[in-house]
Amino acid sequence: MGVTFSFYIISWFGNLKEKRKKIHHEQLEWIRKNFGDVQIYILAQDYLEEDYVEDSKIFYIPSIQVSPGEARNKLLKRFYESDEDYGFFIDDDSIITDRFYEPTKFFNDFKAGKFLNEDIDVFIPLNPSTTPFKKTNEDNLLFDTHYTFRRTGILKTSFIILKNINKFNKKQIFFDETFDNLEDIDFAYQMIANRFFVYRCDFLILHEIGSNCSTLFNMVDRRELNIKFKNKLVEKYKKHGIQLNKAGGMNCRKFYNNINQAKTVWYLKK
C-alpha cells in the first residue's frame, strides 16, 4: 500500500516576474512528470489574475507577501490538519535534478511507502552548492546498492520532505516567525529538540532553477543576517549545548549526541 502526500509551494515572483513565473511553470511540469496528478497547494503571494494556472489539482491560497517562516506556517497548518502521510515543502523554483542520478526508482520507492516506517521524520536532498557530492558519493561503497541518509541539523527549506508528525505523533512544529534568516535551521533544531530525526539523502540532488534570479537578499545582507541569527540560535538552544566556536561557527555536537539518538548514517537497500 502506497503513501499519501501533496506538494506545498510558497510562491512570490517579485520584480523578476516573467522569469520567475516561467521557472515556476517548469517546476510544475517536473512535478507532473514525476508524480502524476498529485495535489499541489500554492501560497500565491501578490498574484494577479493572469498568474494562476488552470489545473483541477492545484489549489491556490491567495496572500500578500509575507516572511518565509510565516508563508511556510500557513502551508504547514493545512498539512497538519490533513490525513496525508507526507508533504513536500518547496520554493517555487526547486526540483530534484536527474543530471547525475536518475531519481525515478527513488520516487517510486517513496510512493510505495518504503521509508514510512523508518526513523526518518524529515529529509532534504543534497545541495551541490555546499556539499561536494561527487566525492561524497564516490567514497561511499554502498552508494550503488543503498540509499544513504546522513544525520543533519542543516535544513535548506527550498526542498523539504516532511512526515506528518501530527498524524503519527500528535505533534505540530512550526517555523519561528521571529527569525528573518536561518529559520530553516531553527526548524531543524526544533525537530531535533523534540526527538524527531532529520536527515539528508545523498541520492537526491537539489536543483534551484532560479538560483541566478533570486528574489531574496543580496550576499552582503545575507552575511550580516547570518551573524545576527546565529547568535539568536545559540541563545535559544544553549541549554541543549549549542555554542559558537572560535571561528564563529556553531558547535552542535553535544546537541546532536545528547538529544538526537538518530543514526549518524542510515543505509536503506534500494
Instruction: Provide the 3-class DSSP secondary structure of residue 103.
Output: coil
Q: Is 64 helix (H, G, I), strand (E, B) or coil?
A: coil
Report the mean per-residue pLDDT for the chain: 90
pLDDT in tens, 162-196: 999 999 999 999 999 998 888 999 999 999 999 99
| Mean pLDDT, residues 183-211 taken together | 92
pLDDT at 205 over 80: yes
* CB-CB contact of 156 with 94 (8 Å): no
The predicted structure's pLDDT at residue 213: 59
Say what the pLDDT of residue 270 is.
92
Q: What is the pLDDT at residue 47?
A: 97
Q: Which runs of E-coded beta strand occur in the chain?
A: 5-11, 40-45, 58-63, 86-91, 94-96, 122-126, 146-151, 159-163, 198-208, 243-244, 250-251, 265-269
C-alpha cell belonging to residue 211:
538560483
Write phi, then psi, for 267 (nearest 5 degrees).
-110, 125
Q: Are 60 and 52 in contact (CB under 8 A)?
A: yes
Query: What are the Cα distances from residue 243, in Å, to 176, 193, 207, 235?
Result: 19, 15, 31, 8
Q: What is the pLDDT of residue 53?
A: 96
Q: Give the distance, in angstroms, between the CA of residue 24 and the centroid of all CA atoms in the same chain.
A: 17
Domain 5-269: give its CATH architecture.
Answer: Alpha-Beta Complex (3.90)
- Specify the pLDDT at position 221: 62
User: What are 244-270's pLDDT values in tens digits?
Assistant: 887 777 788 778 777 766 688 989 999
The whole-angstrom separation of Cα 138 and Cα 52 is 43
pLDDT at residue 129 is higher than 60:
yes
Tell me the per-residue pLDDT of 65-84, one tens digit each, with 9 for 90 and over. 999 999 999 999 999 999 99
